[in-house]
A = this chain, B = another copy of it.
Amino acid sequence: MNTIGKILTLTTFGESHGPAMGGVLDGMPAGVEIDLDELQRFVDRRRTGSYVGASTRDEKDRVEVLSGIWQGKTLGTPIGFIVRNADARSADYDEIARCYRPNHADFTWEAKYGIRDPRGGGRASARETVARVVAGGIAVQALNRLGITVTARIDANSCASAAVLEQVVAQGDTLGGVIECVVSGVPAGLGEPLFGKLHARLAAAMMSIPSIHGFEYGDGFDMASKRGSEVMDLFEKRDDGTIGTVTNHSGGIQGGISNGEDIVMRIAFKPVPTLMREVSTVDRDGNPVTLPPRGRHDACVVPRALPIVEAMAALVILDNYLIKKTNVL
């Protein structure tokens, strides 16, 4: 279950403090031009250092593409890639191997596997998202060739304010936030009517990003308290002869299939669970333990998450673009 997608599939691997993170992007059409420098810049957007309260870990995430792209074009073969974990310090994490950090995956991971890699959270670390961004960055380039763009931005009400963030950091506390993502230029007809509804696929992809607690598209939860007559996206014939809707309460998706309008979705992140304060918890035997304040973590992951959100959206949209090709003989 480290694979996502139907025709375009991404399989990822890697523990936070192992030798490397990596992935395989399979099902990419052949002959698509991919600019590896542009890809590196996309991945760099996920790196630390670009805002107040960011982790001081310097990740230097250099993408190594191992297959599937040759002479600047995709071959149709799986695109294997790795990103080395340059800055692994196993010793930092030894003491927490026996304790369950609150709001982390320590306890649940042990319940599932009976074993856990305590080094930096192992595979439960948000470090795994680097592989998503590499693959998603390739999908973004393919979509751009089709005139489709993907843009994530921090929602107005979120942790965008440097002043608030500084105050929170000073208190050793953390923040969450909301990201809005818009996909423009998507042709009508992408998606599937039943279990593979376009928004169901997008929801699953977004909810698979660490720390997400909510997903909505179009008017989202507000829809629930409105009347049918208030959210009706009436059709109109446009000057270019195409049919579109006057409003976009539906967020570009109706019946699980894109209608040609902007696809608009919002994703809610919980606050970072690692505080820079002492935390009370228990060890494996249930004995009370106090964990010291920890360093090297972001106070708010939302800014770094923008390319992750774009990556996941791009993977889903491109997959559905390919599925659409199979709807006629």
Complex interface bits, A85-113 against B, C-beta within 8 A gives 1, otherwise 0: 00000000000000010111101110111
Q: Is the CB of B123 within 8 A of A77?
A: yes
Does A207 touch B at the CB level, under 8 Å? yes
Question: Which residues of chain B are near A268, meaning CB under 8 Å?
Answer: 216, 220-221, 223-224
Question: Which residues of chain B are near A228, meaning CB under 8 Å?
Answer: 103, 173-176, 271-275
Question: Which residues of chain B are near A174, meaning CB under 8 Å?
Answer: 227-229
A257 to B220, CA, bound (A): 25
**A contact residues, range:** 35 or more
Q: Is the CB of A66 within 8 A of B26?
A: no
Partner of A282, one of B6, B236, B321: B236
Q: Is the CB of B68 within 8 A of A254?
A: no
Does A168 touch B at the CB level, under 8 Å? yes
Question: Which residues of chain B are near A191, meaning CB under 8 Å?
Answer: 108, 112
Task: State how many angstroms separate the Cβ of A253 from the closest Cβ of chain B.
Answer: 8
Question: Which residues of chain B are near A256, meaning CB under 8 Å?
Answer: 105, 108, 208
Question: Which residues of chain B are near A103, meaning CB under 8 Å?
Answer: 228, 231-233, 249-250, 254
Question: Which residues of chain B are near A80, meaning CB under 8 Å?
Answer: 13-14, 20, 22, 82
Of chain B, the residue at the smallest CB distance from A158 is: B224
Partner of A78, one of B11, B226, B230: B11
Does A292 touch B at the CB level, under 8 Å? no
Task: State how many angstroms separate the Cβ of A94 from the closest Cβ of chain B.
Answer: 13
Q: Is the CB of A194 within 8 A of B12?
A: yes
Q: Is the CB of B29 within 8 A of A66?
A: no
Task: State how many angstroms separate the Cβ of A111 from the closest Cβ of chain B.
Answer: 3
Task: State how many angstroms separate the Cβ of A77 from the closest Cβ of chain B.
Answer: 4
Does A323 touch B at the CB level, under 8 Å? yes
Indicate whether A329 sits within 8 Å of B213 (C-beta atoms), given known contacts A281-B234, A287-B237.
Answer: no
A244 to B300, CA, bound (A): 27
Task: State how many angstroms separate the Cβ of A196 from the closest Cβ of chain B.
Answer: 3
Of chain B, the residue at the smallest CB distance from A236 is: B282
Q: Is the CB of B176 within 8 A of A226?
A: yes
Q: Is the CB of A115 within 8 A of B199?
A: no
Indicate whether A193 sits within 8 Å of B66 (C-beta atoms), given known contacts A199-B207, A256-B208, A286-B237.
Answer: no
- Given A109-B255, A234-B280, 20 extra CB contacts under 8 A: A30-B327, A75-B113, A75-B116, A105-B257, A107-B254, A111-B257, A112-B193, A123-B194, A173-B228, A174-B229, A176-B223, A194-B208, A195-B205, A213-B251, A223-B269, A234-B281, A236-B282, A241-B286, A321-B329, A326-B326
